[in-house]
Structure 1
Amino acid sequence: MLQNNSTLRSKIDQLWNKFWSGGISNPLTAIEQITYLLFMKRLDDLDLKRKADAEFTGEPYVSKFEGRWLPPGIPDKKDNYIEKELLRWSHFRHFSAEERLTHIQLKVFPFLKTLNGEESPFTHHMKNAVFIIPKPALLVEAMSTIEEIFDEIEKDANQGGQAFQDIQGDVYEMLLSEIASSGKNGQFRTPRHIIKLIAELVGPQLGNRVADPACGTGGFLLGAYQYMVTQLVKDPKGLKLDEDGFIRSSVSSQLTREVNDILNDSLYGYDIDVTMVRLGLMNLMMHGVETPHIDYKDTLSKGFPEKNSYQIIMANPPFTGSIDKGDINESLHLATTKTELLFVENIYNLLKTGGTAGVVVPQGVLFGSGRAFVNARKILVEQCELKAVITMPSGVFKPYAGVSTAILIFTKGGETENVWFYDMKSDGYTLDDKRSKLEGYGDLQDIVKQYKKRDQLKESDRKKKWFFVPKNEIVEEKYDLSMSKYKEDVFEEVVYEKPNVILAKLKDMENEINRELTELEGMLE
């Protein structure tokens, strides 16, 4: 987690304070405006890198800043066209403060809004976006701090042997941690190491359609993309383990145009907050996904008809709310308005037969006794191959929420024979609000190791942190999936001292107390 980088956190604090003192006090507005600047900077850096890579490999690449552009609403005359090269961050960063603000407002930002063509999801959702940084001085200070943030993240990435990772998500998470409304309406980010863990367990492959029906800033989609790109790296030995024990690459010059096209058409996300949609689109584009498919849709509502569409779903859907009963999609048959249960059924519906999901749920889903809870678990056990239930400690989502959660891994249409349970005790970070990095990886890498070899051994000791439970036993327990239902407690024999020894010690303690009381009385005379 980059929030454990004290220098980076200090820079984020500086950026946040500048926006606050500059008159932009609404947290999500500030985050959105900061994201626009991050996007401008990253787009320029990424484009220059890809141009250099293309020259080195001979692969064709058309720069997003190649050619000329006509601003919207301007007469179509030759003199009104702008050289796109003038819209790069590396160009306008040298302007004076007033020129810089005017240039971004009238030229750069309108250009970015139409970046992927008139028909793209990005252009559609950026249509009403507004660049509202009001003061030239604030813009200059913000740009300077953002350049320092990029330098620090590049330094952090190089020291860790990893490619540029989720800057948008990290900055977003750090900003949220600074405001009282963090976590409001479920708008908090899944920790990157949990995303990497789930990607490792579900294993998305090139050509798979991957979805997140409640994608937020797009962290799971980015995690799937980075996992797939890493599998395509020709020399993975050149990559080092990151701070969580995973190997990941974000952008590789070894990818052909054909492979890039497949990856660009692989990732699909949906969210009911238009700000999250914009942030998610920019997040993926900042990491090399040229045309991400993220849309403003409520995937639980009647207006979302998709079914049987995806090979992989990775998600941490909101689990604190409910939906209007009259707006629930007709394909959802659980008699409930609880979103955590409806999303389980919805993810099942969205998967193609043979498709696999990795989903974070509150642990209440595992053992709730209501009919809807039981029926949701019945879908997982009877209509899927429920591969794994991984319980996580309650501090994983701090400081946003303290609820205990679990990861469910299941494949639609398979047959459940034995369910693999794992009791995660540590995710490699402290479980308090600070979430500081601990030495080692916690249980993360052991989970991956044991999960991938679980088929080699179906019997296990239920006194340990992982074990199997046969389907028939789960059915008998009304599909209860709680770890405590099946785990055997380990009792350690405690040897107590003999009563006469204990009494003797008590007498000694009483004598000592009386002696000290006598001394105190003497001091008062």
Structure 2
Amino acid sequence: MNQDLRRKLDKITNILFAGGVNNPITYIEQISYLIYLKLLDERENDIAQQIRLGSSRAKTLYPEQAERFRWSKWRFYSGDKLHKFIRDEVFPYMSNINSDNEYIAAYFRDAVLEIHDPNVLKEVIDEIDSIIFSSLGSDVKGDIYEYMLTYLNTMEGSLLGQFRTPRQIRKLMVELVEPEIGDTIYDPACGTAGFLIDALEYIMSKYSQRIEEVPIYGEEWLIRKYLEKLNSESHLKFNDSELPFDTDPKLRKKFLGELKESNPNLMTYEKGDGVNIPDWHLLEDSLYGIDVSRQIMRIATMNMVLHGISKANIKRGNTLSEMGGLTDEDLYRKYKVILSNPPFAGVLPKESIRENLPKNTKKSELLFLAVMFDALAEGGRCAVIVPEGLLFGSTTAHIELRVKLIEKFNLQAVISLPAGVFKPYAGVKTSILLFRKLVKDSLFENNIATQKVWFYEIKNDGYDPDKITGGGRPETPDKNDIPDLINQWNIYKKFGFKNPPGVEGLSILGHGSEEPKCWWVLADRISENDYNLTAGRYKPQIINKNNEENLVELLEETIDIEKNITKKLENLLKEIKISI
């Protein structure tokens, strides 16, 4: 995404916020409506062109009597006429569009125009109209939306943060489950569809001619770092409009290489054009998400659309409820990959909980895990973020779920996340569970219930765990355990998950030993500990010098005591022999 596009997006943001549209979710929702209307107008031009050439069976969204609802027909209106036309005519038309385009109708159903100032609305429409989306690749269109979401995420007090898992954690989880074309991929609490987009980008990067390496902090961070370098080396002051990154990719690659050399733990990921994907429709039809909020569902849908998924399988509904607005097909479909960070704090009325879920709990975090157990296809992989309490809770419901996870699935890893990973929005301690569902009657070597569990403790995730600036945590590219975790995992996988990296859990390590980042524990040992799955419960202990001295003293005292006991027993034995 070039600097001109960034400036347009920043201008739209400033116009809306100055015009009173300052709720982050409302901001994104309103922008999404307008962008979608512009996209559909551009698509209509493509359809008309194809029809003229006799190469399209696609039906127009705007038959002759409805031409006036097209963006290109009303975008010149102004004042109250523009505002009322969109509110009272365009939105109702789109929400009742023909049955061939039900996904569009569902998107606009109950839509409300909340840009109340006609002048603000006109300014925003003019800026959006200047962007020709059809000339942009899906990667650039996706970057536009990600930029808006990230921009909001950095704003102090942003409500959107509660719906977004940090990018570095999403990328890690996708890397661990390795989605592939043909996999059905699901998030039962999808929020803005971050996991689904990352899974899509991961797959696209495997089938690309042009691949770009991106720092986990995003392109804006890279630009900022390059500006810092230029300004430190010159008495002149440069700004981002003078950067040649957009026209000189070799310079960008060279500078990123320099950053990686000076920061070996700098986390990056790959983005590709996906031109070698053998069946795009298969990939498009394999991504599924559900969210309880209609606003968030719309944001997720637009995120997918701008990333090239024209008919996104995103639905509004409650995954946990018998009356959640979902069909039986939605509720009982099986998926090869599940990626999720479900809400932790919810409590459902028992009467509302789905029939096939546990009846001994109302806690949403337990119910969501049970949903994933059921929704995962045989041989499927799941990576899910859970609150720490789920790993050690002592209620029957907690223990039964952990028993099932160990004995009926293959729990491959528990990854402990830093307590500050969700700051400034939440300080709750969490972990990632990584597990596979067994295949019935399969003799495949790794198709066995949990034998060993690998634990990895992430202390640093590339951001300062304590400081908060401007609504987010400052970047610390030199402090990030995630690249090491991925490297250790790949070694583990390479050798068939036979020998987990690290030392055995609960080991005693001698004075001077390096604090371990990872360790493993036998499933039998876990069952002996009430199926407790917290990483810290099994962390190897290092004996420091004082502890060693204390241990020597304790052993010497024990030996002296045993000598005294032995002496007394010998005297007692002599007395008994004499009396016989």
- TM-score surpassing 0.5? yes
The counterpart of 1:450, out of the listed 488, 496, 500, is 488
Deviation at 1:8, TM superposition (A): 6.1
1:273-293 CA-to-partner distances (Å, cap 9, x unmatched) read 111111111111111001111
8 A contact 1:33–1:132 mirrored in 2: yes
- 1:436 alignment counterpart: 474
Deviates more, 1:267-276 or 1:441-450: 441-450
Distance 1:68 1:209, change over 3 A: closer
Whether 1:460 aligns to 2:502 is yes
The counterpart of 2:32, out of the listed 16, 29, 35, is 35
- 1:82 alignment counterpart: 67
CA distance in 1, matches of 2:529, 2:430: 21
The counterpart of 1:229, out of the listed 204, 218, 233, is 204
CA distance in 1, matches of 2:502, 2:159: 41
CA distance in 1, matches of 2:55, 2:305: 16
TM-score of the superposed pair, with normalisation by structure 2:
0.69
- 1:507 alignment counterpart: none
Deviation at 1:246, TM superposition (A): 1.2
Q: 5 Å matches for 1:62-461?
A: 69-70=62-63, 78=64, 80-82=65-67, 87=71, 104=86, 113=95, 117-118=99-100, 120-143=102-125, 165=142, 167-172=144-149, 174-175=151-152, 178=155, 180=157, 182=159, 187-233=162-208, 235=209, 238-243=211-216, 244-249=267-272, 252-255=274-277, 259-303=279-323, 305=328, 306-307=331-332, 309-333=334-358, 335-413=360-438, 414-431=448-465, 432-433=467-468, 434-440=472-478, 442-455=480-493, 456=495, 457-458=499-500, 460-461=502-503
8 A contact 2:91–2:108 mirrored in 1: no
CA distance in 1, matches of 2:368, 2:157: 27
For 2:177, the aligned partner's letter is V
8 A contact 2:162–2:425 mirrored in 1: no
Deviates more, 1:388-397 or 1:450-459: 450-459
8 A contact 2:47–2:60 mirrored in 1: no
8 A contact 2:8–2:127 mirrored in 1: no
8 A contact 2:288–2:313 mirrored in 1: yes
Deviates more, 1:41-50 or 1:337-346: 41-50
Deviation at 1:485, TM superposition (A): 1.0
Bigger CA radius of gyration: 2
User: Secondary structure of the residue that 1:69 maps to in structure 2?
Assistant: coil
8 A contact 2:350–2:359 mirrored in 1: no
Distance 1:63 1:402, change over 3 A: farther
User: Secondary structure of the residue that 1:247 maps to in structure 2?
Assistant: strand
8 A contact 2:415–2:433 mirrored in 1: yes
For 1:417, the aligned partner's letter is Q
8 A contact 1:173–1:188 mirrored in 2: no
User: Secondary structure of the residue that 1:438 maps to in structure 2?
Assistant: strand
User: Secondary structure of the residue that 1:396 maps to in structure 2?
Assistant: coil
Deviation at 1:332, TM superposition (A): 1.1
Deviation at 1:471, TM superposition (A): 0.9
Distance 1:124 1:47, change over 3 A: closer
- Percentage of identical aligned residues: 33
CA distance in 1, matches of 2:169, 2:80: 44
1:261-311 CA-to-partner distances (Å, cap 9, x unmatched) read 112210111111111111111111111001111112211112455336111
User: Secondary structure of the residue that 1:246 maps to in structure 2?
Assistant: strand
Deviates more, 1:218-227 or 1:381-390: 218-227
Distance 1:459 1:357, change over 3 A: closer
1:193-221 CA-to-partner distances (Å, cap 9, x unmatched) read 22111111111111111111111111111
Distance 1:421 1:83, change over 3 A: same
CA distance in 2, matches of 1:25, 1:197: 32
Deviation at 1:110, TM superposition (A): 5.9
8 A contact 2:204–2:274 mirrored in 1: yes
CA distance in 2, matches of 1:11, 1:94: 20
CA distance in 2, matches of 1:481, 1:349: 21
8 A contact 2:342–2:385 mirrored in 1: yes
Distance 1:479 1:492, change over 3 A: same
Distance 1:191 1:26, change over 3 A: closer
8 A contact 1:46–1:288 mirrored in 2: no
Distance 1:230 1:25, change over 3 A: closer
Whether 1:480 aligns to 2:514 is no
Deviation at 1:387, TM superposition (A): 0.9
CA distance in 1, matches of 2:544, 2:454: 26
For 2:111, the aligned partner's letter is A
CA distance in 1, matches of 2:132, 2:540: 49
Distance 1:265 1:165, change over 3 A: same
* Unaligned runs of at least 5 residues, structure 2: 217-266, 439-447, 506-514, 548-580
Deviation at 1:120, TM superposition (A): 3.0
Distance 1:200 1:117, change over 3 A: farther
CA distance in 2, matches of 1:117, 1:451: 47
User: Secondary structure of the residue that 1:240 maps to in structure 2?
Assistant: strand
Q: How many residues align?
A: 458
1:114-137 CA-to-partner distances (Å, cap 9, x unmatched) read 679556344224222133423332
CA distance in 1, matches of 2:307, 2:43: 8
TM-score of the superposed pair, with normalisation by structure 1:
0.75
8 A contact 2:142–2:303 mirrored in 1: no
* Unaligned runs of at least 5 residues, structure 1: 55-59, 71-77, 496-525
1:49-85 CA-to-partner distances (Å, cap 9, x unmatched) read 9999x9xxxxx98698x95713xxxxxxx5x35289x
